[in-house]
Structure 1
Amino acid sequence: MDARPEPFVPPAPIPRTVPPSVFEIITTVMRNPLELWGEPSYSEPWIHTRFLNERTLIANDPGLIRHVLVDNASNYRMAVIRQLVLRPILNDGLLTAEGEVWKRSRKAMAPVFTPRHARGFAEQMLDRSENFVDRYRSAGPEGGIFDLSHDMTELTFDILSETLFSNDVHGSDAGFAQDVDRLLSTMGRVDPLDLLKAPSWVPRVMRVAGRRVMAKFRSIVRQTMEARLAQMKADPHSVPEDFLTLLLRQMGPDGLSEQEIEDNLITFIGAGHETTARALAWTLYCLANSPAERLEVEAEIDRVTASEPDPVKWLDQMPWTRAVFEETMRLYPPAPSINRRAVKDDVYTAPDGTSVDIPKDVTVLIMPWTLHRHRKLWSNPRAFVPQRFLPENRGEIDRFQYLPFGAGPRICIGATFALQEAVIALAVLLGGFRFDVLPETSPWPVQKLTTQPGGGLRMRVTPRG
C-alpha cells in the first residue's frame, strides 16, 4: 500500500470561469498575465480569441504546436507584442533577433553550447556552487533565514560568469540580483501601449523607472567587451577560450557587428541565467513542501556523490534530482509564453480529422503555463508529482506537451547547459543543507518575462549533518 501523502499543490491562479472585460484584461496583463487565463485555456486544444482587433489562436494541442514551431516554422515570425516588450531590453540578442541576424548569432554561439562543450563546464559549476554555499555554512549549526529567490539569482550569475566569461564580467557588484529583478519588473512588463501596438518610439510610462538599470547593464557589457578586446590585442596567448572571446572573434563584416555582440552579451548576462535561477528557487520550495520526495532526492544525492566524484556523470546518475527540477519547470515554466505571428494563411489538420484555420497575421500564443497544466494532457496537473519525469514514465509525455526550453529552430540554445547546471547546483545545495518554509513563506507566481515568486522566497536553511 502506498504510504505517500497527497502530493503538494503549489500556489497558482485558479482558472477564470467568467470572461474578463476589456478593462480587466488590460489591468491583469499589466499586473500578472498568469491570472488572465480561463477554464478553456486549461481544457481545450485550441481557442480563437479577439482583443482590440488583435486575432489570437491559443494553441494547447501538441500536434498544432509542432506544426507551428517545427513543421511549418518558416511561416511564423515573432509576434508584434512580444517584440515590443523584449526588444527595448535585448535589441538584436538571440531571443529577439530574426532573419539573417538571428542565423548569424545562432551559428556563432552553437559551438559553446554543444553537449560535449557543456560537459566541460561541469567542474566549474561544481566549484562555484560549493563556494556559494559558504554563506549557509557560516550561519552556524542552527542555520539562518535567506531569500532563495535572491540567492539563486546570485548563484546562477556566479556560474554563468565563471563558465562563459571566465569570471571576467566588469562593473557588476553585490547588488546584481536586485538589479535583475528591477530590470524585469520595469522593462520586462507589458505596457498598455504594447497591447495597442503603439510604435516602439512612443515612450512607455511603465518602463521609465527601468532606464537607469538598463543603462547600468549596457555599461557592464561595454566594459567587459572593451577589457577583453584590449587583452586580445595586447597578449593574444593569455586570452581565455570562452564564450566572450568566441563572440568577439566573430566581429567583422562577414560575422557579427559590435552592436549584435553587445546585444547577445546583454541577453546572457541579464537574462540567460535568470530562467535557471527561478526554476532552482521554485524547486527548493516545492521540495520543502514534499517530504517524501525530498527524502528520495537527498538519498540519491548522498549515494551518488559518495561514489561518483565526477559531476559530469551526475545528470545521468541522479534521475530523481533531475525529475524534481523538470516537474518544477512544468508547474513554473521559466518562460511562460511563446508567441508567433503567421506570415501567410495556414491550416492544421489533427490526426482525428479536425482542423483549425490560421489566417495571415493571426498571433499564435503557445503558453507553457497553461499547456503544462492542461487537464487533457496531464493527470493531477496542478500537483507536484516528479515521478512523472522518472525514466520509466518519461515516454508517456509527448515532446510537444512539455516546453520548458521551447522547440524547433529557436529552442533554447542553453538547454543542456541549464539542466547540467541545475542538477549540480541541487546536488550541492541539498547534499549539505535542508531548506524549509517559514509560516510567512507564501510565494505567488508572477510573470515578468520569467515566472517569479512575488515577494521573494524566504526559507530557513540548516545544515543536514
Structure 2
Amino acid sequence: MHTGSATKPIVSASGRFEPPAPAPGTRPLRRLELIRTALRNPLELWSEDAYRLPWIETMFLTQRTLIINDPGLIRHVLVENAGNYEMSAVRRLILRPILRDGLLTAEGPAWKRSRKAMAPVFTPRHARGFARQMLAVSQAFAARYEQASAAGETVDIAGDMADLTYEILAETLFSGEIAADTKAFTDNVERLLHRMGRVDPFDLLLAPPWVPRLTRIGGGRLLASFRAIVAETMARRRRQIADSPAEAPQDFLTLLLGLEGPDGLTADEIADNILTFIGAGHETTARALAWTLYLIARLPDWRARMEEEIDHVLGEGGDPVDWLERMPHVRAAFEEAMRLYPPAPSINRAAIEADSWAAPSGERVVIDKGVSILVMPWTLHRHELYWEEPRAFRPERFMPGARDSLHRFQYLPFGAGPRTCIGATFALQEAVIALACLMRHHRFDITPQTRPWPVQRLTTQPQGGLPMRVTRRLSPG
C-alpha cells in the first residue's frame, strides 16, 4: 500500500474526460501514514500495483491480506467456494454496531432466514411492480425544481438524491409510513455514516467491540434515534394490522412483521432488517445518481443522447416498467458512473479454512486460514488489465452488445455470489426512472464550486456535497 497525489478532472490523450480520483500511490506508507489515510479516506490507500496486478499479498498492520482483482479468483472466493469465506473482522467491527443482524451483516442461519424471507419481494418480476410508484415519486420530486431551475439556482445534488431515493424506498417498500421526516432522516443518515461508517484506529488493530471508539462519539445517540424510528414504525403497522387487517398495506413492512415466529425471524432481526433498508437501502442508489448527473454534465454529447432518448420514450407515453430496456443511453451512463464511483467500494472477506486457486497461467494462489480478502470494486473497476482507458468516463462500454463483452466478475457494483445485492434490479429500475423524470425538464451543470472528491464512508460519497446549477430545459411535450 502506498500514498499518492490527488488527480483533478483531466482530459486523457484520446480526449476522454477522466473524473477526479486519488492517483495511485508511488511509495510505501509508513505505519502512522497508513492509519491516518485509512481514517481520512481509504480510497487513497492503493498503490499502482493495485490497479495493475491480478492479486497482491500484503500486510495491513498486523493482518495478512490478499487483494484480488482477477475475475476468476473473485468468482472462486465469492461464488465457487463462498462457504469458506465470512465477513472480515474489520468490516464486522464497523457495520455490526449499526446494523446488527440486518441482511448486510448477518452471518450463518440468521442471514439465510432473512435472505429467504425477503427474496420474493426483490425478484425482477416483483421489482417491476414498483415502477409506477417510483414514477409518481420521481415526478413529484422533479417538480420541486421548477422555481430553482427558472432562476438557475445552485442545489446540492448529493443531498437531493438522498432525499429522492429515500422517498422512493419509503413509498414502495413501506407505503409511505416510516415514522420520520424525509430531510431530517437523510441528514441524520449522513451524520451517522460520518460518525460510525468509517474506520477507527481500534478497528484496524482488531480491538474488541467493547473498547470505546473515540471517532464515533455522538454516533450512539444518532443510532438510538434510528432505532426509535424503527420501533415506532413497527408499532404503528402492528396496530393497523390488529385493528384493520384487510386495510393494512401488503408491502415489505407487513411481510417482515408477518414472518416473526419460531420458524421465521425474531423481533430483533425484523428491526435490524428494517433499519438496514430504510437507513442504508437508499444510500447506494443516491450516491450513484448524484455521480451520474455530475459525469454527464462533463460529457454534453452523451447527455444530449440521453435527453433525446428520454423525450422520445416519455413522448410516447411509455409504461415505466419498460424504461430500463427502452433507455439504453440512460442506463449506460448510470452503470458507467457505478464503475468509476462504485457505491460499495470494497467487499471484505476472511478465509475460514485454508484454500487455493489455480490461475489459467498455472500459477497457484494459496490462501491460508484467517487471511483477510479484499475484493475492491474501486480498484477492479479502474484496473488496467481489464478496462480500456480505465479512468475515463465512457458510457458506451455499457450499451447493448458492448456490455455483453465484459467478464461477469470484472464489474461488481452489486457484489456477486450468494450475498449479491438483493435489490439490484430495484435499484437499476429506480435509477432510470428517476433520471428520466429529473432530466425531462431540467438540466444540471457544473459551477466553479463543483469540485467533487470521492471519499469512502461505507459508500463512495462526494466530500462536502455536490453543488450543481439547475436550469430549465426546453423539451418536447
TMscore range, shorter length: over 0.9
Q: CA RMSD in A?
A: 1.1
One-letter amino acid matched to 1:163: T
Query: Is the CA contact (8 Å cut-off) linking 2:149 and 2:442 kept in structure 1?
Result: no
**Which residue is 1:315 aligned to?**
324
**Among candidates 174, 197, 211, match of residue 165 of structure 1:** 174
One-letter amino acid matched to 1:318: M
**Which residue is 2:245 aligned to?**
236
1:211 deviation in Å?
Answer: 1.6
Instruction: Write the distance in 2 (CA, Å) between the matches of 1:7 and 1:296.
Output: 17
**Among candidates 31, 36, 39, match of residue 27 of structure 1:** 36
Instruction: Write the distance in 1 (CA, Å) between the matches of 2:82 and 2:120.
Output: 23
**Which residue is 1:420 aligned to?**
429
Instruction: Write the distance in 1 (CA, Å) between the matches of 2:262 and 2:217.
Output: 35
Query: Is the CA contact (8 Å cut-off) linking 1:125 and 1:424 kept in structure 2?
Result: yes
Query: Is the CA contact (8 Å cut-off) linking 1:171 and 1:219 kept in structure 2?
Result: no
**Among candidates 72, 76, 79, match of residue 81 of structure 2:** 72
**Which residue is 1:304 aligned to?**
313
**Which residue is 1:208 aligned to?**
217
Secondary structure in 1 matching 2:392: coil
Instruction: Write the distance in 2 (CA, Å) between the matches of 1:268 and 1:190.
Output: 22
**Residue 396 in structure 1 maps to residue 405 in structure 2:** yes
**Which residue is 1:358 aligned to?**
367
**Which residue is 2:345 aligned to?**
336
1:209 deviation in Å?
Answer: 2.0
* Alpha-carbon displacement from aligned partner over 1:201-254 (angstroms, at most 9, x marks no partner): 111111112122111111110000000011111110011110000000000111
**Residue 449 in structure 1 maps to residue 455 in structure 2:** no
**Residue 374 in structure 1 maps to residue 415 in structure 2:** no
- Unmatched tracts of structure 1, length 5 or more: none
TM-score after normalising by structure 2:
0.96
**Which residue is 1:87 aligned to?**
96
* Alpha-carbon displacement from aligned partner over 1:269-314 (angstroms, at most 9, x marks no partner): 1101100000000000000111111111111111111124200000
Instruction: Write the distance in 2 (CA, Å) between the matches of 1:293 and 1:346.
Output: 45
Query: Is the CA contact (8 Å cut-off) linking 1:136 and 1:143 kept in structure 2?
Result: no
* Alpha-carbon displacement from aligned partner over 1:388-428 (angstroms, at most 9, x marks no partner): 10012112210000000000000000000000000000000
Greater CA drift, 338-347 or 304-313: 304-313
Structure 1 stretches of 4+ moved >2 Å = 138-143, 171-174
Identity of paired residues, percent?
Answer: 62
Query: Is the CA contact (8 Å cut-off) linking 2:163 and 2:182 kept in structure 1?
Result: no
| Aligned residue runs from structure 1 range 424-439, under 5 A | 424-439=433-448
**Which residue is 2:51 aligned to?**
42
1:7 deviation in Å?
Answer: 2.1
Instruction: Write the distance in 2 (CA, Å) between the matches of 1:53 and 1:7.
Output: 41
1:44 deviation in Å?
Answer: 0.3
Secondary structure in 2 matching 1:141: helix
One-letter amino acid matched to 1:387: E
**Which residue is 1:218 aligned to?**
227
Secondary structure in 2 matching 1:221: helix
Instruction: Write the distance in 2 (CA, Å) between the matches of 1:430 and 1:10.
Output: 21
Instruction: Write the distance in 2 (CA, Å) between the matches of 1:449 and 1:141.
Output: 36
1:351 deviation in Å?
Answer: 1.5
Instruction: Write the distance in 2 (CA, Å) between the matches of 1:234 and 1:223.
Output: 16
Greater CA drift, 221-230 or 138-147: 138-147
Instruction: Write the distance in 1 (CA, Å) between the matches of 2:189 and 2:245.
Output: 33
Instruction: Write the distance in 1 (CA, Å) between the matches of 2:150 and 2:43.
Output: 39
Secondary structure in 1 matching 2:365: strand
**Among candidates 377, 387, 399, match of residue 396 of structure 2:** 387
1:174 deviation in Å?
Answer: 2.9
Instruction: Write the distance in 1 (CA, Å) between the matches of 2:142 and 2:311.
Output: 17
* Alpha-carbon displacement from aligned partner over 1:41-96 (angstroms, at most 9, x marks no partner): 00000000012320000000000000000001111111010000000110000000
Greater CA drift, 347-356 or 101-110: 347-356
**Residue 127 in structure 1 maps to residue 108 in structure 2:** no
One-letter amino acid matched to 1:296: R
**Residue 265 in structure 1 maps to residue 274 in structure 2:** yes
Instruction: Write the distance in 2 (CA, Å) between the matches of 1:36 and 1:390.
Output: 32
Q: How many residues align?
A: 462
TM-score after normalising by structure 1:
0.98
**Which residue is 1:458 aligned to?**
467
* Alpha-carbon displacement from aligned partner over 1:110-155 (angstroms, at most 9, x marks no partner): 1110111100000000000011112211225233210000000000
One-letter amino acid matched to 2:225: K
| Aligned residue runs from structure 1 range 95-174, under 5 A | 95-139=104-148, 141-174=150-183
Secondary structure in 2 matching 1:286: helix
Greater CA drift, 331-340 or 138-147: 138-147
One-letter amino acid matched to 2:35: I
**Residue 253 in structure 1 maps to residue 272 in structure 2:** no
**Residue 191 in structure 1 maps to residue 200 in structure 2:** yes
1:173 deviation in Å?
Answer: 4.6
